[in-house]
Chain A
Amino acid sequence: MLYLNFSMPKMGNIQVSFNLTGRCNLSCTYCAARKEVEDLDYEDLSPEAIIKGYSKVREKHPEATLDLTCMGRGEPLLNWLGVLAIGGIREKDTNTRLLAITNGTFQVRNKVLELAKKEWILAVSYDGVMNELERKGAGHKVVEETIRELMKISPTKTIIKMTITPQSLPFLKESLIKLHDLGTKYVMLGPISPLGKYEGNHGLIEDSSKMSSLLENIVFAEEIGLKPLLSIQRACGLATSGYYVMPDGNLSICYLKQIEPTQENRIKAQEQGCLLYNLFK
């Protein structure tokens, strides 16, 4: 197998990401993964592949704390068997943290709440009071109800992730107030750098007046008592360094490197389960 690179961070925990599924109950306008999933005919990650991948990383890093992260090119919690398999790892290996990203919609609400009660670190995607504008299929009131329940259970381990687009920006201040009313602590806004746009699907902030407005809203968020974070999008579409467990249980490695999005690199990345976007035009 070819690897994009072999470096790993020398500090902190090691992230192990599981792309649990390509299935999704939403159809977001800015979703960078959908086309790639269709092209790759992506299947659910099996519990066997999950255990195999985890075991390989643990063998390489016997002392490290592993962040076992449920990601997906769709809604990760739709592969609930996979989530349970990852949860089961922690029962035997306490030198781990469990993380999941979710859209927080009605189909997965009970599962999200169950994970929160088990002290998983959760990131809920929510674009604000006009959530359904671009997160097609995710009515804002439905996700807000999930957030409200989550904040009662696990406010310090739940992060609200907002993808800020030119379309959602005018509603951002109102959305931040809504999040505050729901009891939110952490809200991650972005991607804020490198300010490019996803190739072929328009729409991230790239002009200075809108970026200025986003920065003002970050300051505003803190003023009303939220804890704003900034996300930084990188060339790798999955945007997270660490190991990725492949469908066959083998590992792909992604480190924070800027990779030129040539066709050759794009194909190489796809072979390794990574996505490349031209964010650096």
Chain B
Amino acid sequence: MIEQKVGEGDNALQLKATLVRMNLPIGLIDAAIASAERSYVELKKDLSGRYYSGCCI
């Protein structure tokens, strides 16, 4: 088995790598991930902690 260590930042990095391999526009990838990361920062404040049911970024 291969261990896949995933932290919050790693999620975004891993996702970006996957999407880049699909030849999607870098600008679009970055914009979408940045949008999700902004939302997640706010969500953590609203929930007083992390939310990871479903593994989100």
Name A residues whose Cβ lies closer than 8 Å to a Cβ of B. 5, 11-13, 15, 17, 65, 67, 69, 71, 97, 99, 101, 121, 123, 156-157, 159, 161, 185-186, 188, 190-195, 208, 211-212, 215-216, 218-219, 221-222, 227-234, 239-241, 256-260
Contact present for B28 and A219 (CB under 8 Å): yes
Contact present for B42 and A208 (CB under 8 Å): no
Given the complex of chains A and B, what is the CA–CA distance between A191 and B54 in angstroms? 9
Partner of A186 from the list B31, B32, B33, B39 (CB cut-off 8 Å) is B39
Contact present for B53 and A101 (CB under 8 Å): yes
Contacts of A211 in B (CB 8 A): 19, 22, 24
Say yes or no: A232-B57 contact (C-beta < 8 A), given A121-B47, A258-B2.
Answer: yes
Interface size on B, residues (CB 8 A): 40
Interface of A is mostly: mixed
Contacts of A159 in B (CB 8 A): 43, 51
Contact present for A256 and B55 (CB under 8 Å): yes
Contact with A along B4-47 (1 / 0, CB 8 A): 11110001001100110011110011011101101110110011
B26: shortest Cβ distance to chain A, in Å? 11
Partner of B53 from the list A15, A215, A258 (CB cut-off 8 Å) is A15
Contacts of B24 in A (CB 8 A): 208, 211-212, 215
Say yes or no: A157-B46 contact (C-beta < 8 A), given A218-B35, A231-B56, A256-B4.
Answer: yes
Given the complex of chains A and B, what is the CA–CA distance between A256 and B29 in angstroms? 23
Would you mind naming 18 contact pairs between A and B with Cβ atoms under 8 Å apart?
Answer: A13-B50, A67-B49, A97-B49, A123-B54, A156-B46, A195-B22, A208-B22, A211-B24, A212-B25, A215-B19, A215-B28, A215-B31, A219-B28, A228-B36, A229-B36, A231-B55, A232-B54, A260-B2
Contact present for A229 and B56 (CB under 8 Å): yes
A31: shortest Cβ distance to chain B, in Å? 15
Contacts of A233 in B (CB 8 A): 55
Closest to B5 in A: A256
Given the complex of chains A and B, what is the CA–CA distance between A196 and B39 in angstroms? 25
Contacts of A185 in B (CB 8 A): 46
Contacts of A99 in B (CB 8 A): 53
Contacts of A186 in B (CB 8 A): 39, 43
Contact present for A193 and B52 (CB under 8 Å): no
Given the complex of chains A and B, what is the CA–CA distance between A13 and B50 in angstroms? 7
Contacts of B36 in A (CB 8 A): 218, 228-230
Contact present for B55 and A232 (CB under 8 Å): yes
Contacts of A227 in B (CB 8 A): 38-39, 42-43
Partner of A240 from the list B43, B48, B53 (CB cut-off 8 Å) is B53
Contacts of A188 in B (CB 8 A): 54, 56
